A and B are shown apart, each in its own frame.
Chain A
């Protein structure tokens, strides 16, 4: 009724731009610099773009996971860097014998295998206790239910310990059941969802749909498992899945059994930061003890030989990485915007207490967020490791780069993380046009300070 009086805004576009003098000048300067470089050597320009996009996609992947965690719980989890390093080292642990002539003893630590076995068992039991147990405890005998859960957990833990210590060349055979079950679950879920989407509202079809989805999943699972079983060359690519999954288990376990208690006992979020810093330090040192601090290279992938586009070189593997990162990004967006899980995550992100009041199990939801983020970080570590030598400390640098990318893009905004990753990669690579490559880190952190000073909300501020 009584609308407040507003000054009439001049519709002049020049007026709008005159509010951002610094940004305009900087944009023009960057443009001029790029044109000069392009004039110096067009193919060199293209090469820098390729390098920047390649590394930028890895930064973006790390930044997406980082933003996912930070945007949900609003504290920094530095073990995220250890997860990134873990991805690379898991691939090295399981498939490194293909490229480096290391004795089997050095690549097989029973203690490590046992640790991950116990971890997987614990997380499995926790997951069982959190979902199926709560759902069925009123209908089925509780002791029986818990017994089933414990049995499952122990079986999965023993399986993990077994295949981590198994003969490396037989890995595809031992792991084919796991891949089969995973792909069956995924295919069943997708099939069921798609069918539901096409036949909403028709009563009585639910049971048929469920069985159809399960059946399709089973068939696809058997096909996938069988395919892996008969393909010895798949060893390396299986480890790309196994590494992130293990990292995910570790990330979930750390949140559920360490960070929650630190959060309870300390006054601010700095406690978690320091606690996770300690864990990062310990993990890095453990990696140096097991794998030695020297740089390691991962086995060659399908596309290690470069192809030439316009006088610049790029590896098919890198094109694959860029596409994979974009697909993962779309998947995360779908997860956040279209599913109940995403709705819960957004609710916790807005206000954790209110979310709990309305009946969201925030511990479980945040644990799953940590699982996803750790898996993404580990995948980033794998992709990084396939291109560069991996050292125990590379995870921390990757974490900081991912953080810088998320600041550039806008803290807590998942679109910003993607944008920031690519921008950071490009800036780093264009920045060393006139400098030595060693100055990359300095350029990166100068960019960070610059952004924090002038545009602390980043390019795409969170609404």
Chain B
């Protein structure tokens, strides 16, 4: 018996080795495909509207995760302030496009500008970029753990300003009647159209990130991550590079915020709390540090888990959010314990 087993093992050894190597080389693609298959199967069991909704949420989280990965995975800046730029993008678009017809609803008066979405979007991104420049010039002085905790406080300050600056943001009441993307000849009124717009923007963001990462600029960023002092010796101004990638990443986050605002047509400060930032970091780390594919994968897993939890029978509906927090919190710790580079990452934290 043992002999035959040995013979069998030997005869299949070399093909299986090849297969193993091929699987190992393409593990990232395989993982993404398997997950996509699971998501499709999951969607197929639900209604068409729900499937579109899933794609929409996935796009937002993927944009956020990919842009944050530029900071965490490539440059080594563990930023918790991303939600601030996300919120600035959302609120700029909201304030710039809110419809005067709904103004009678409000108790506070906010300025009415009623721009179209595609005019408000660049302004929002620019505002977020300017704010990022301001914050970044302060933050770029710090490193490692001090940087993380200061970025925590940036996120908290941003949320506090959104809640308390009532003459502009209407505080906890939120802003209604935010415009949908409208090109004149084609308007993204329905869910499907909006999901298409989001997918286009996601593709754009991934393309820009890929350009950045594969350029010489990206290589300097990776060098900063590996050894900031060494790259400065070579004559690169590390602070400037960090600031540049910080602003770019913030503008991408603002884009995601604009999409969220326009999609929901209503926002309030509760969507921009520090917890969201922690979730983004969790997605990036889970997917893989220093890998754009990884972030897309992470966003996929995140959305599947988050929406899938609703269908687990023994969790009461009120506790879905808490369960999500518990799972992702423990997941972060487990990743740090067993796989600090994430699922398909190239860089250990």
Contact = CB atoms under 8 A, between A and B. Distances in A.
A303 B263 CA distance: 53
B333 A275 contact: yes
Contacts of A449: 138, 150, 153
Contacts of B10: none
Interface stretch (B30-38, B204-212, B214-222, B318-326): B318-326
A33 interface: no
A335 interface: no
A438 interface: yes
Contact of B337 (A262, A281, A282): A262
Contacts of B278: 277, 281
Interface in B234-285: 275, 278, 281-282, 285
B105 interface: no
Contacts of B73: none
Contact of B157 (A266, A269, A281, A442): A442
A278 B281 CA distance: 10
A277 B349 CA distance: 14
Interface string B127-152: 00000000000100110111011101
Interface in B46-74: none
A429 B138 CA distance: 26
A441 B160 contact: yes
A107 B164 CA distance: 35
A299 B329 CA distance: 31
A400 B325 contact: no
A453 B150 CA distance: 11
A285 B156 contact: no
B329 A278 contact: yes
B106 to A, nearest CB: 20
A278 B149 contact: no
Interface string A290-334: 000000000000000000000000000000000000000000000
Interface string A36-61: 00000000000000000000000000
A115 interface: no
A95 B349 CA distance: 42
A75 interface: yes
A261 interface: yes
Interface residues of A, number: 43
B322 A281 contact: no
Contact of A267 (B156, B160, B282, B348): B348
Contacts of B282: 278
A256 B323 CA distance: 26
Contact of B333 (A282, A404, A446): A282
Contact of A278 (B332, B338, B348): B332
Contacts of B78: 270, 273-274
A261 B164 CA distance: 42
B212 to A, nearest CB: 22
Contacts, number: 133
A413 B18 CA distance: 59
Contacts of B145: 75-76, 269-270, 273
A67 to B, nearest CB: 14
A448 interface: yes
A272 interface: yes
Contacts of A448: 150, 153
B197 interface: no
A445 B157 contact: yes
B156 A400 contact: yes
Contacts of B329: 277-285
A323 B326 CA distance: 38
A289 B163 CA distance: 26
B349 A267 contact: yes
A452 B146 contact: yes
A354 interface: no
Given A274-B281, A285-B325, A266 B340 contact: yes
Contacts of A4: none
B113 interface: no
Q: Kindly state the interface size class of chain B when it binds its partner.
A: 35 or more
A399 to B, nearest CB: 10
B23 interface: no
A265 B335 CA distance: 10
B163 A400 contact: no
B101 interface: no
B164 A439 contact: yes
A286 interface: yes
B161 interface: yes
Contacts of A282: 325-326, 329-330, 333
B328 interface: yes
Contact of B149 (A76, A266, A280): A76
B259 to A, nearest CB: 25
Contacts of B150: 448-449, 452
A273 B332 CA distance: 10
Given A268-B144, A270-B144, A442 B349 contact: no
A275 B336 contact: yes
B27 interface: no
A227 B141 CA distance: 57
A32 interface: no
Interface in A233-279: 258, 261-262, 265-279
B268 to A, nearest CB: 15
Contact of A274 (B153, B285, B325): B285
A194 interface: no
B40 interface: no
B331 interface: yes
A387 B319 CA distance: 28
A339 interface: no
Nearest to B316: A289
A446 B150 CA distance: 10
A286 B340 contact: no
Nearest to A403: B149
Nearest to A292: B318
A453 B146 CA distance: 12
A268 B156 contact: no
A436 interface: yes
A272 B322 CA distance: 23
Nearest to A436: B164
Contacts of A403: 149
Contacts of B337: 258, 261-262, 265, 275
A453 B141 contact: yes
A448 B333 CA distance: 28
Given A261-B337, A449-B150, A277 B332 contact: yes
Contact of B322 (A261, A280, A285, A446): A285
Given A278-B334, A288-B322, 9 more contacts: A76-B149, A270-B145, A270-B148, A278-B282, A279-B329, A289-B323, A400-B153, A438-B164, A442-B164
23 contacts: A76-B148, A262-B336, A267-B340, A268-B349, A271-B349, A272-B336, A273-B145, A275-B336, A275-B337, A278-B332, A278-B336, A281-B275, A281-B332, A282-B325, A288-B322, A400-B152, A436-B164, A439-B164, A441-B156, A442-B157, A445-B153, A445-B156, A453-B141
Interface of A: 75-76, 258, 261-262, 265-286, 288-289, 400, 403-404, 436, 438-439, 441-442, 445-446, 448-449, 452-453
**5 closest A-B pairs by CB:** A278-B332, A282-B329, A281-B329, A285-B325, A275-B336
